[in-house]
Amino acid sequence: MGERFVLVTGAAGGLGSATVQALSGAGWTVFAADASQSVQASAAPRISPIVMDVTNQHSVDAAVSLVQQTTNRLAAVVNLAGIQAMGSLVEGDIVAVTQAMLDVNTMGMVRVNRAFFAMLLRGRGRIVNCSSECGYMKAQPFNGPYTMTKYAVEAYSDSLRRELLGLGMPVIKIQPGSFKTGLLADTSASFDQLVGSTRYFGKTLQRLRPLMARELAGANDPTQLAAVILRAVQAKRPRASYRVRNSRLLGLAELVPEGLFDAVYRLLMR
């Protein structure tokens, strides 16, 4: 077996760095891409750091050129770049916040997969897109922008998978629950900021705080997700989606009819 090359975006983050380590430890040569300069600290014999901003097409194209200096084919692209912030859909600078999240979480994948597609085709590779439990579960209040991006990732991944069936290129969705990463801290900080700035939802947010705290307290080790991504990358016949440590509480909510679910929130918000 020859040298196996994989590109990982969001490589400086908690999930990204754990995934880079898992892949390199399994013998893969990893192009570790991230917008942060700190990704350069990940350099190692099987790890080549690349500064790449998934929101900037010129940056993505430059990354393609850098990778091509080493190889003209990839066995996989793993899209982990993402940002998260909680917020109201009717207060604050919600348009800019939503646009920024869509640009990273959804359009970032579109740019990267399109730019590296020819290399994936030559390498008979596969695409791994990180969605979320939020991408298929009922949408929760005050997490609208993030949920929108992950619903879009689900639709994008499903459409892309079916488009590429004839070319033999698997497209795989990863649907993780909460993990102990910087995104978790961003979620908590943005929730506190919302509580301090909201005009309409202060009492509601205070009632919801214990539920959110419970979910964050149950966050999992990123190495658990990295192990699943490694399996998805290496499987001869990968599944279309992998759910990893999804919330039991939110899972139960999936069993409740929409009307009843809304009634529960209506009670909380009185």
Angle between helices 202-217 and 258-268 (to 10 degrees): 110
Catalytic residues: 146
Cα–Cα distance, 123 to 103 (Å, whole number): 28
- Cα 164 to Cα 87, 167, 189, distances in angstroms: 36, 5, 40
Cα–Cα distance, 61 to 65 (Å, whole number): 7
27 phi, psi to nearest 5 deg: 100, 5
